[in-house]
Amino acid sequence: MSFDLLTDEQREIRELVRTLAAEKIAPRAAEIDESHEFPWDVVDVFRDHDIFALLFGEKYGGTGTGTLLALIAMEEVSKVCATSGLILAVQELGSLGIKLAGNDEQKQRYLPKFASGEWIAAYALTEAGSGSDSAAMRATAKRDGDHYILNGGKRFITNAGVAHVYVVFAKTDPEGGHGGISAFVVEVDTPGFEVTRLEPKMGISGSTTGELLFTDMRVPAENLLGQEGEGFKIAMRILDRSRPGIAAQALGIAQGATDYALDYAKTRETMGKPIAAHQLIAGKLADMETECEAARGLLYRFGMMADAGIDGPELTKASAMAKLKCGDVAMYATTEAVQILGGYGYIKEYPVERYMRDAKITQIYEGTQEVQRLVIAREMVREDRAFLLAGV
């Protein structure tokens, strides 16, 4: 892993994040998982070292260092603690609606507070009956003078109960399908807003996942993002750019598990030699490393494309490919890491069982792997590949 295409500045910041992860976050990872408590001390580490700022432009108090470096930071943190890596990924997810569709006043109000870490962001699209099918959402928003009245609820919302600001999607036209959805910025102290449940989960245990309830919640009309009916388009543009954050988390998990399994295999001996010298174990390690590097290529390619200003179908496809590959590699590499450690891999004294539990969600949220395949195939069908048949 000595060769990369990063600039000296990017390498320097990567080393800073890597050091912080090793010294400040790694010693807390098992405790965070065991306690199921949101790690505010990790948030303080990110605040104190301007890590949240990596996600934002200089105009709003960020570093302006771009998408690729933000993804690298998420990857590095996730190598030691997937919950902590998710904090960065969801700060990006929750703020993207404002970045992409907010007006100047909305951006000035919220983005500097996100960049400093003063406020934590969240994204509220999913409902109990509308996960992959956003048009089936039932939350409504009715205009009432200079406010909208929101009723309904959301489920499986990351950062529920800890976020200060939520980007919420609701139907301003209940019969309008995708075209009836609108997006709103909702502050946590808005009357009628309630977190009704936090979910116990298999993995990423220190990250809160909860259910929201809106009861005659009055949201100022000035908090509408874009125009009425543009919510679905905004949500899809957000997901194109947020899925790679989960891909970065997944890649970090995969590489962290691979690195731990390698270290174990170099020191654990059977039949008079380290198990890394046994061909079957060596083969597993080689495949794990190769899969991680292949996934990293797709993820970093997306980051470079985003930093180059590429948008539209090409970015959508690259995003889905990165998320699909990294999520699958996370599940594969962590499963193999447990196998390499054998019985030790199955007990909590060793971290690979946590890596394996954390990995699974990366194949589900921000669009399931099945949805990613549909997105990739859809974009393939739309592409003009007639030149491939020229002369045949």
Domains recognised in the chain with CATH numbers: 8-116 (1.10.540.10), 121-229 (2.40.110.10), 232-385 (1.20.140.10)
Tell how many helices (H) and how many strands (E) occur in the chain.
11, 10
Mean pLDDT value across residues 298-310: 97
* pLDDT at residue 385 in the model: 78
* pLDDT bracket for residue 332 (50, 70, 90): very high
Mean pLDDT value across residues 122-142: 90
* pLDDT bracket for residue 387 (50, 70, 90): low
Q: Is the pLDDT of residue 117 over 90?
A: yes
Q: Is the pLDDT of residue 180 over 50?
A: yes
Q: Is the pLDDT of residue 390 over 70?
A: no
Mean pLDDT value across residues 96-117: 98
Mean pLDDT value across residues 113-125: 98
Report the chain's mean pLDDT, rounded to a whole number.
Answer: 96
* pLDDT bracket for residue 148 (50, 70, 90): very high
Active site residue 58: no
* pLDDT at residue 132 in the model: 76
SS3 sequence, 222-283? Answer: HHEECCCCCHHHHHHHHHHHHHHHHHHHHHHHHHHHHHHHHHHHHHCEECCEEHHHCHHHHH
pLDDT, tens only, 365-378: 999 999 999 999 99
Helix (H, G, I), strand (E, B) or coil at 142: strand
Residue type, 235: A
pLDDT, tens only, 51-64: 999 999 999 999 99
Q: Is the pLDDT of residue 213 over 60?
A: yes
Q: Is the pLDDT of residue 224 over 80?
A: yes
Q: Is the pLDDT of residue 2 over 80?
A: no
* pLDDT at residue 136 in the model: 87
* pLDDT at residue 129 in the model: 84
Q: Is the pLDDT of residue 102 over 80?
A: yes
Q: CA-to-CA distance for 74 and 88, rounded, in angstroms?
A: 6
Q: CA-to-CA distance for 74 and 272, rounded, in angstroms?
A: 40
Q: Is the pLDDT of residue 262 over 90?
A: yes
Angle between helices 82-101 and 67-78 (to 10 degrees): 160
Residue pointed to by tokens 């009916």 = 229
pLDDT, tens only, 277-292: 999 999 999 999 999 9
- 76, 336, 366, 379: which is the annotated catalytic residue? 366
Lowest mean pLDDT among 4-13, 62-71, 373-382: 4-13
pTM: 0.95
Q: Is the pLDDT of residue 392 over 70?
A: no
* pLDDT at residue 1 in the model: 46
CA angle 119, 20, 249 (to 5 degrees): 70
